[in-house]
Structure 1
Amino acid sequence: MRLSSFLAVFRPALPLILGLSLGCSLSLLMVSWTQGDTDDSCRDELGNGRLFPGRGDAQRDPRDGAGGEDYEPHIVPYHKDPNKPHKKVLRTRYIHTELGIRERLLVGVLTSRATLNTLAVAVNRTVAHHFHRTFFFTGLRSPKVPHGMTVVAHGDDRPVWLMYETVRHLHQHYGSDYDWFLLAQDDTYMQADRLSELVGHLSAGQDLYMGRAEEFIGGEEKARYCHGGYGYLLSRSLLARLQPHLDTCRNDILSVRPDEWLGRCIIDYLGLSCVEVHQEMTYRYFELGKNADPEREDSVQFKNAFTVHPISEPNLMYRLHKRFSQIELEWTYLQIQQLQSSHRQRVNLLRPLSAVEIIPMPYVTEATRVQVILPVTAQDQDFVGNFLDMYVMNTLDTHDNVLLTFLFIYDPFDAQRVSQTDVFAGIKAMIGEVEKRYGDVKIPWISVKTEVPSQVKLMDIISKKHPVDTLFFLASVWTRSTLTS
């Protein structure tokens, strides 16, 4: 009875006890197997490198040292060959030029001597300042050029010749600086913000000829040219491909209209026709009727237009600009009301991240001369010789674009005795020796008398003797590494 009751109590724990006993027994057996005599032989094989196929003693890497490490660093010292001339690397002045970053849009307005001071001025006053760059191309320049306008005169009033010279000028001078080129007439009103937004959504790497598509005279072919009155876009790649054929087009294609001549040239030699829709983006335009009143125009086509044509007088251009400004203001108020009505908590007060604006900033390059200013007091004389040797070795021998100017600081007592005993006579003699050794080098010096020298006062004296855009580097007799090229 006692045994049966004892087993009844421990029966639920019997599987656990049996499992623990079996596990401990197997663990003891495994320990005895792994700690046998084979352990030493394995270590010997591992030490001899024979556990890895193909890595015996005869095939070991000769680069392996005593520690057997395969990937030790190999330092190659740099030795400057004195027999080879020093090669100076000239970098661009602006970082966006070095990185190949281009502006998006350049606008060219075709005008004439008769309308340069009327319609062209109206274009300049209304929308030109909204574009990054706007040029006015004319055949003959007026006697009085309007203020604030960049006018390019080609010397010939023939319309086709003006178009030929304009396209050639844009490619030659700005073909590598802009992604898109907009050509329009001076009787065209342009919505600058909408056109800039349009080119911002187009791929700049494609050949594109975009505007209001028109049929050629006769209308027998499917190809179309872009009407010049409503403006048209030319991509940079198209302009580059068209440039070699401009002379041939000028001699072979006969046309009275310059926009038709350009369209024929693009179609014949590049096989491209004018399009109004590209990449789901539409070039929107509006034809203004005769005696039309901009204040009464309320159609969707008018409100969404990028360009409006024809504009007969400057006053109409200003009225159109006023009307479109009102439309933009109404749209802005409508968006504000929609935000308020929907109780949105976030209001976008910043530009979107995709609208990156590149601001050209000048920076120091080898093409900009650096004026090194070295103030020297009587206590610094013993260290000037070492500084001058370093300057000769690191700038004069390498022909760097650096000019050194000594600023000798006299105290009142030494300044009175300078005609008898010059405390800086030894330094001036060293400067003379350097100038004799390098015949084309001049090292100027300036003498200053002051009891308490300060950097602000010294630079004020120096800056008056140089142009305002001079780049100064204020050094000391202890300056070393900053002079190395």
Structure 2
Amino acid sequence: MARHVTLLQCYNTINVIIDPKCCRLLMPAIIGISLGIAMSMMYAPFSENSCETFVANHDPQELVNKREQKSLQGLEDSLKFEPKLRLQQENVAPQRSPTKKLIRPRYASTELGIRERLFVAVMTSKTTIDTLGVAFNKTVQHHVTKMVFFMEEKGQTLPAGMSVVSFSDKYPHLVPIHVLKYISEHYPETFDYYMFVSDRAYLRGEKLVDLVNHISVSQHVYMGFPQMMKDGSGTYCPLEGGIILSQSILSRVLAELDWCSTNCHSSDASLNLGQCLLHSTDMNCQDHTGTKSYTYYKVSDFDFDDEIPKLKQKEVFNASISVFPMPDDINHYKLHRYFCQHELNQTKKEIEKTKDNIIYMSQFAPGGRESVNWPIGVPEPYKPKSRFDVIRWDYFTETHIYFQDDFTNYKELKGVDKQDVQEVIKISVNRLNEKYGNIFLYSSLVNGYRRFDPQRGMEYTLDLVLRDISKQNWEVEKRVHLVRPLGRVEIVPMPYVTENTRVNLILPVTVDEKDGVANFLDSYAKTCLDSGDNTYLLIVFIYRHQLDGGIEDTFSVLKSLVSYYERKYQNGGKVSWVSLTHQEAYISDLYIMDEVVSRFQPESLMLLSSVGMELAPDYFNRVRMNTIQGWQVFFPIGFWQYKPNLIYDQKPYPTNIDINSKSGHYDANSFEHSSFYVSDFTDMRKLFSAEEAQDSDIYDLFIKSQKLHVFRAIEPALKHKFKNFSCPSSAPLKMFQRCLTRRSLGLASRGQLAKLVFEHQKKFGPDQLNSNNLNQDSGRIQLIKNLN
């Protein structure tokens, strides 16, 4: 306490006399301050970077100029970032340089640098293109990624369906060098492997693809049938046996094309290519790489009928990928048939061997051999976890199938369904005769049941009536169970596209549909125009008569509304209209596209739409992804709403469409929504005659041409409000029947219609309702009209 009092006295006193205790406390601070001042005074004269020294060593005018230019070396931060007064007239927004828009490639594989697997270059000539070339194409083309035929000069006629490139110099021995130049211009980095082969070779395409699929892309591959150079400098691969090059090797060759063009002029085309490869890569031809071998078999004056009995005994021949040279196309086809049969026999042996292994190993598994399912190797039947997962069995006879779906009671067996039933019956009778010694003759089918099990395939249970010829044609009944197992699931290679393509919506509007166009435009503005989605809308107004001065335009209000949206969104100009005149009540979408397709570029993506559909960004993105130019068209199956006054008890009706069985259904008979490219449409349209176009639509156009994949799938983002179908009698018979079916099935579900029938009977009595007509479309529609 005394110490605190002394300190207080020390700080508040004005006397000269200082308490010794205060001095002891303040002494370190005083000494530190004194030393700091002394050191700074001693160091200042020797400092070259001080402000005084810097200014003293430079011209004052030079310092001012450097300060204005802001280029003074070593200037302090305070000089560099000196605040500047901005006057009011200078307060202008700085101009920004225009930013480049990122344009993504059409295909994601291009953006990621993903290569295709195998390119095959076939050397042919105008004398063999129609025989050996066609045979080579038919046996190999469906296995490889890309195949192109090269010849020294163009023949008079070329086979259809083949990619043929001809050169103008007419020198056959220089064709391989020209092929390398062609690849450098078109496919320099597109494929992992490149094969060069003559059309005189027979290739087993499936084994070839299997070979390259099991070779790492990091290896340098130069494989074929090794032959020694004439000068003994190394080995090369003749074109007759085939040559496989990896991308890394090909890139070296393409870099030395000038040397190859100048120095490779031998009369032998294979030797020219071999010299080019040897000079560019300094590698010799080998028949293997790593653990994988390129197997081949060389024949001389090959005649299939004479030599195949001996050759089929040789393992080297049966395991070969390439057999060469082929004398003609007949021997080529015969050899192909032999190898197909050989592969089939090998597959059957592997299946039997696998079955034996499964039976043997089952004794060591839980449950023993009783745990083995039938058929052996096929997964066991699906076990439902609840009553909602039970797979329904379809009942059928030889003529009809019953309750195939929720909308039909019975349907006549025809087409592939009828062929399937006939084939199953035939297989059943044959297997029974194998078991009982050919004593049965087929009589009739009593009962048939089938269901599709996603784990094992299609299952059948048949009750057959057979006549036993060993017992004076007595009729016996046999129940058989069959399974058509699922084969190997194959993934169809499809180009993966990016979502940056412009979608051009085509909206046909008739007089009956004009009331819903305003809502469609409003939805389009909110979904696409406000968000800046890359879309364009073309409305097609369809008239029944020619417009003249005395007739009022029924679409005048809608045209004004389109002009309003055009003025509102001037930057894009993404809405416009065009008018068509059609006298008939029925107008095909094929006719509409014929009239408007000339307004678009060949690379434009078209999307046919309809009044009443809900627009969703997810739907547009799915259209972009599922429509591939030159490869695939898209026909989505949308969700169509039932008639609101039949499915809802009271007003107001909901404005949004919920996807459930009570509010609507996926209409598999709907084909008015489709997306395709203009170039694909015009190419397919050329193959369609005028007579075929009268009774067809766009779906028929792509189905009958069979040039493109037709992708048809359920699309949850495509919702459509209820539409009252008017089925004109002038429509083609197929379209008219389809319209009647859609009108019947689009009213309400079975349960909802049954409830209406019950209420009708309760209110008016059963005499006013003909129950025999309930299954007919006309009776059902008439019933709903009476209820309304």
- Counterpart residue type for residue 258 of structure 1: A
Maintained 8 Å contact 1:375/1:475: no
Q: Which runs of structure 2 are paired with 1:283-302 in the superposition (5 Å)?
A: 283-292=294-303, 293-297=307-311, 298-302=313-317
Q: Which runs of structure 2 are paired with 1:343-362 in the superposition (5 Å)?
A: 343-344=358-359, 345-346=376-377, 357-360=492-495
Question: In the aligned structure 1, how far is the partner of 2:526 from the partner of 2:319?
Answer: 67
The Cα shift of 1:467 comes to 4.9
Are 2:346 and 1:331 aligned? Answer: yes
Change (3 A) 1:431 1:282: same
- Matched with 1:196 is 209
Question: In the aligned structure 1, how far is the partner of 2:518 from the partner of 2:161?
Answer: 58
Paired residue for 2:536, among 387, 398, 402? 402
The Cα shift of 1:382 comes to 8.3
TM-score by length of 1: 0.66
Paired residue for 1:150, among 132, 148, 163? 163
Question: In the aligned structure 1, how far is the partner of 2:347 from the partner of 2:572?
Answer: 69
Maintained 8 Å contact 2:508/2:539: yes
The Cα shift of 1:188 comes to 0.6
- Counterpart residue type for residue 109 of structure 1: V
Maintained 8 Å contact 2:527/2:615: no
The Cα shift of 1:243 comes to 1.2
Maintained 8 Å contact 2:151/2:167: yes
- Matched with 2:280 is 269
Are 2:197 and 1:184 aligned? Answer: yes
- 1:80-112 superposed Cα distances (whole Å, 9 cap, x missing partner): x99775855444444444444333212111011
Change (3 A) 1:419 1:136: same
The Cα shift of 1:359 comes to 2.5
Are 2:245 and 1:114 aligned? Answer: no
- Counterpart residue type for residue 310 of structure 1: P
Change (3 A) 1:408 1:87: farther
- Matched with 1:141 is 154
The Cα shift of 1:214 comes to 1.3
- Counterpart residue type for residue 358 of structure 1: P
- Matched with 2:184 is 171
Maintained 8 Å contact 1:408/1:446: yes
The Cα shift of 1:319 comes to 2.2
* 1:130 aligned counterpart, secondary structure: coil
Paired residue for 1:131, among 137, 144, 147? 144
Change (3 A) 1:241 1:474: farther
- Counterpart residue type for residue 266 of structure 1: L
**Looking at both structures, which has the greater relative contact order when contacts are Cα pairs under 8 Å and sequence separation is at least 6?**
1
The Cα shift of 1:306 comes to 0.5
- Counterpart residue type for residue 143 of structure 2: H
Maintained 8 Å contact 2:517/2:611: no
The Cα shift of 1:421 comes to 6.7
Paired residue for 1:215, among 225, 228, 232? 228
* 2:193 aligned counterpart, secondary structure: strand
- Counterpart residue type for residue 443 of structure 1: S
The Cα shift of 1:400 comes to 3.8
Question: In the aligned structure 1, how far is the partner of 2:620 from the partner of 2:253?
Answer: 48
- Matched with 2:718 is none
- Matched with 1:105 is 118
- Matched with 2:289 is 278
* 2:279 aligned counterpart, secondary structure: helix
The Cα shift of 1:430 comes to 5.2
Are 2:245 and 1:234 aligned? Answer: yes
Question: In the aligned structure 1, how far is the partner of 2:207 from the partner of 2:619?
Answer: 51
- Matched with 2:762 is none
Question: In the aligned structure 2, how far is the partner of 1:484 from the partner of 1:394?
Answer: 15
- Matched with 2:318 is 303
Maintained 8 Å contact 2:220/2:249: yes
Are 2:607 and 1:471 aligned? Answer: yes
- 1:98-151 superposed Cα distances (whole Å, 9 cap, x missing partner): 444333212111011222222222222333333333221101111011233221
Paired residue for 1:444, among 577, 585, 592? 577
Change (3 A) 1:82 1:482: farther
Maintained 8 Å contact 1:131/1:192: yes
Task: Compare 273-282 and 238-247 and name the one that shifted more.
Answer: 238-247
Question: In the aligned structure 1, how far is the partner of 2:135 from the partner of 2:542?
Answer: 59
* 1:119 aligned counterpart, secondary structure: helix
Question: In the aligned structure 2, how far is the partner of 1:83 from the partner of 1:473?
Answer: 41
- 1:385-437 superposed Cα distances (whole Å, 9 cap, x missing partner): 97787689648xx6945234276999xxxxx9x96876764553454466676
* 1:256 aligned counterpart, secondary structure: coil
Question: In the aligned structure 2, how far is the partner of 1:467 from the partner of 1:109?
Answer: 38
* 2:133 aligned counterpart, secondary structure: helix
Change (3 A) 1:224 1:325: same
- Counterpart residue type for residue 246 of structure 1: L
Maintained 8 Å contact 1:372/1:402: no
Change (3 A) 1:391 1:300: closer
* 2:200 aligned counterpart, secondary structure: coil
* 2:245 aligned counterpart, secondary structure: strand
- Counterpart residue type for residue 501 of structure 2: E
- 1:236-278 superposed Cα distances (whole Å, 9 cap, x missing partner): 2322232121122110234222222222222222222212111
Query: What are structure 1's unaligned runs of at least 5 residues?
Result: 1-80, 411-415, 450-455
* 1:233 aligned counterpart, secondary structure: strand
Q: Which runs of structure 2 are paired with 1:411-422 in the superposition (5 Å)?
A: none
Change (3 A) 1:476 1:90: farther
Question: In the aligned structure 1, how far is the partner of 2:163 from the partner of 2:353?
Answer: 42
TM-score by length of 2: 0.43
* 2:240 aligned counterpart, secondary structure: helix
- Matched with 2:219 is 206
Query: What are structure 2's unaligned runs of at least 5 residues?
Result: 1-93, 360-375, 380-484, 599-604, 622-788
Q: Which runs of structure 2 are paired with 1:17-166 in the superposition (5 Å)?
A: 88-166=101-179
Question: In the aligned structure 1, how far is the partner of 2:121 from the partner of 2:268?
Answer: 17
Are 2:256 and 1:245 aligned? Answer: yes
Question: In the aligned structure 2, how far is the partner of 1:151 from the partner of 1:286?
Answer: 27
- Counterpart residue type for residue 330 of structure 1: N
Identity %: 25
The Cα shift of 1:213 comes to 1.4
Change (3 A) 1:174 1:372: farther
The Cα shift of 1:446 comes to 4.9
Q: Give aligned pairs, total.
A: 393
Maintained 8 Å contact 2:221/2:246: yes
- Counterpart residue type for residue 298 of structure 2: E
Question: In the aligned structure 2, how far is the partner of 1:114 from the partner of 1:459?
Answer: 46
Change (3 A) 1:232 1:434: same
Maintained 8 Å contact 1:190/1:306: yes
- 1:153-205 superposed Cα distances (whole Å, 9 cap, x missing partner): 11233234211111222232233332111111111111111111000101123
Task: Compare 183-192 and 250-259 and name the one that shifted more.
Answer: 250-259
The Cα shift of 1:284 comes to 0.5
- Counterpart residue type for residue 245 of structure 1: E
Question: In the aligned structure 1, how far is the partner of 2:347 from the partner of 2:502?
Answer: 48
